Every structure is written in structure tokens, then in C-alpha cells.
Amino acid sequence: MPELSGDLDVILEWADEFRRLGVRANADNPADAELSRSFGAEGIGLDRTEHMFLGDRKRIIQTFILNEDPAVREKAVNELFEAQTGDFYGMFKAMDGLPVIVRLLDPPLHEFLESPRALDVEIAKLEATGGDVKTIAEKRKLMEQIDAMSEANPMLGLRGCRLGIVYPILPVMQVRAIATAAANLKKEGLDPKPEVMIPLVSTVKELEKLRKVAVDTINEVAAEAGVELDIPVGTMIELPRAAVTADEIATQADFFSFGTNDLTQTTFGFSRDDVEAEFVPQYLAEKLLPYNPFATIDPGVAKLVKMGVELGHEGNPDLVCGVCGEHGGDPDSVKMFHKIGLDYVSCSPYRVPLARLAAAQAALADK
Ligand code: PEP
Ligand code: MG
């Protein structure tokens, strides 16, 4: 485990005396959580649970989504629940006593499904080599099924909270795993502090529906386990509609976390995955953009964050507000978030020391 050198440690301790902003980390496995903690993170601001669904687990979700047989689906969900309970147990234990914000599954649906193009290549190979006819027919059916679900704009499609609304058993499974891991740790005398975060919300109705699912599930687990569970439920603000209706959305949220990666993408209408390509380098060269808005918060996007914070507090005066986009570890952006009045920033583990310093500089500039 890397450690901060002595001198830097002293400087960061001074910084901590001045800063007002909290500093958390984005991490989705116990090793990164421990690393963040060693760098001074005061919690996990974003656990992207889709990162826990690589390899075989992706296949289990695919089986769940494509299969209509209730028994097959139930088996898939039970397998996922067991795996996730273990994941969360490790995360909460590593961050014992500190908050861990767990975000429910967010990525576009197709990321869980096999690529139709790859299946097509596989089928062609099997046919050319005289492969088993039954296998070929099954692969073709799978390809057609996945093809039928393809979306023109997956990043604007079935992802985030929409996935949980279309497949409600997925948020139930995840929240049950979060609450079960917390209950198990409590019984061992530890102090787990999970929070549930619902992604890509654009209307209060979506959040109301999924919040109820989360709260009911937490209460069920608490009653079954015989322990008290106090698990806040909040949302990401990462779409312009969510920011401008934050007063309504906050009535259903204990906290907001601004997802400035998606908020930048959807405010500009720039693809976050293609920013290095196409027109953006030319825009930078011609000074049509002063800097890459995915690295340093753009003033227009910052206005939406400010509006979200102000409106949010109208809807819920106790609302806690943070940011968990990449900007949370960028010093200039951290200074802007201090000015806006956020409660914390959350960034990748290695940026935590930088964020602590930037937060202190921002506070000192106020004096
Ligand atoms: C964001 O959109 O800023 C965010 C933190 O979520 P993700 O990057 O996982 O979409
Ligand atoms: Mg996002």
C-alpha cells in the first residue's frame, strides 16, 4: 500500500484544518477503498456497481434479461445477490465508520449483452467448420434477440434509473445485498454506513418510485435481521432536467451527487466518449472552447450545479450535496465547487491529496 511521504502528510494535515469541503473517493473494490482511506478520503462518494459485473457476472445479467422462464430468472437474481452481498461486505468493512455511496446499476443495457457482431462472426466460423447445428441455431436466436434490443443512442437509452424501472428486481436485488451486508457487519460489531444512490434521474416520479423500492427493501431486511438500519437514499443530478427541477427531486432525496461527466455531455450535447476526436481539438485550437470541459468544469455546467444546489435546498433543507464526476479531482473545479457551496467532492483515489489541497486553497482565498 503506497503511503504519503512525511512532509506531504504534514502539509495535507494543515490543509485539512482550513478546508470546508469534504473529500471522498470514487472506488468500487476494497483495495481501492483502503487506498483512498490511506490518502485521507472521508468516505466513498461513488461506488460504480457496474464495475462489479465483469466477466461471468455479465453473462448472468444477460441470462436474466433475455430469459422469460421465471425459474431461470430467479436463479440468476439469487446468484447476483450472493455475489453482491460479498462485494458490499468487503467495501463497507474497508470503510468502517465512513459513508459509502453505492450507485445502483447505471450503464446502457447493451454493455451487459454479447455483441451481435461478435456472435455473427462466431456463427460464420461455426458454419464454415461444420459446427454443431443446434449450437448454431441457439447462437443465431441469441443474436437476433440482442439485435432486437439494440438502441440508436445507448447513452440516452435504457440506462440508469430506467433500467431499474423496466427490471425492478435488479434494484431490489442490489438494495437487499447492500442492507444484508450492512446488517451482517453490524452483527459483528462494526459500523457500516452505506447510502443508496439512484442514477440518471430526470423526473421526481422516477425517484419517488425507486426510493420506495429501496426504503421498503431496507425495512424488510432490517426486520428479518433484527437490526436497525439507517440507510439514506439519494440521487445523481447529471441531466439538465434534473438540475432545473431539483426542488421537486429533492423532496425524495436525502442527498444529491452531481454527475458532472454526464451533465457536461448532456448540457453541451458533446459525446463524452469521443471528446478527443472530431471537432473538439479544433475547437480548443481556435479557442472556441477555453479548455476541455470534461476535465475542468465549464461555467455553464457550473451554473446548472449551482441552480441544482439552491433549488435542492428549497425542496429539502437538510439535503447533502456533493460531486462525483471527474471534475471532483480537478483543482480549478474544486475551487468552483467550494464557491457554489457543495458539501464534498469525490474523485479517484490518487487525486484525493490534490483535492484536499485545492479545497484548502479555496477556503483560504475566502479569508
Ligand atoms: C458522472 O456522470 O459524472 C458520473 C460520475 O457517472 P459516470 O461517470 O459513471 O457516468
Ligand atoms: Mg453518469
Contact 50 CB / ligand 1 (< 6 Å):
no
Give nearest CA residue, ligand 1 atom 1. 259
pLDDT band at 279 (very low <50, low <70, confident <90, very high): confident
pLDDT of residue 1: 55
Which DSSP symbol is given to 159?
-
Pocket test for ligand 1, best of 268, 297, 324, 345 (most atoms within 8 A of CB): 324
Condensed to tens digits (0 to 9), the pLDDT of residues 39-98 reads 999 999 999 999 998 878 888 999 989 988 999 999 999 999 999 999 999 999 999 999
CA distance 145 to 67: 10
CA distance 326 to 316: 26
Contact 346 CB / ligand 1 (< 6 Å):
no
Q: How many A from CA of 260 to the centre of ligand 1?
A: 7
pLDDT band at 278 (very low <50, low <70, confident <90, very high): confident
Which is it for the CA torsion 93, 94, 96, 99, positive or negative?
negative
| Beta carbons of 48 and 101 less than 8 angstroms apart | no
Contacts of 78 (CB under 8 A, 6+ apart): none
CA distance 316 to 163: 26
**Which is the closest atom of ligand 1 to the Cα of 46?**
5
Which DSSP symbol is given to 219?
H
pLDDT of residue 273: 86
Condensed to tens digits (0 to 9), the pLDDT of residues 155-213 reads 999 999 999 999 999 999 999 999 999 999 999 999 999 999 999 999 999 999 999 99
pLDDT of residue 243: 98
Give nearest CA residue, ligand 1 atom 10. 262
| Beta carbons of 113 and 67 less than 8 angstroms apart | no
Which is it for the CA torsion 155, 213, 42, 47, positive or negative?
negative
Question: Residue 195 corresponds to which amino acid?
Answer: E
Find the angle CA(226)-CA(231)-CA(236) to the nearest 5 degrees.
Answer: 155
Q: How many percent of the chain have pLDDT more than 70?
A: 99
Condensed to tens digits (0 to 9), the pLDDT of residues 209-267 reads 999 999 999 999 999 999 999 999 999 999 999 999 999 999 999 999 999 999 999 99
347 classed as catalytic: no
Pocket test for ligand 1, best of 46, 111, 268 (most atoms within 8 A of CB): 46
pLDDT at 317 over 70: yes
Condensed to tens digits (0 to 9), the pLDDT of residues 34-48 reads 999 999 999 999 999
Contact 325 CB / ligand 1 (< 6 Å):
yes
pLDDT averaged over every residue in the chain = 95
pLDDT at 5 over 80: no
Which DSSP symbol is given to 134?
H
Enter the ipTM: 0.99
pLDDT of residue 2: 56
Quick count: other Cβ atoms within 10 Å of Cβ 7?
A: 8
Known binding-site residues for substrate equal 48, 103, 238, 259-262
Grid cell of 238 as nine digits: 447529471
CA distance 154 to 107: 9
CA distance 133 to 63: 22
pLDDT of residue 275: 78
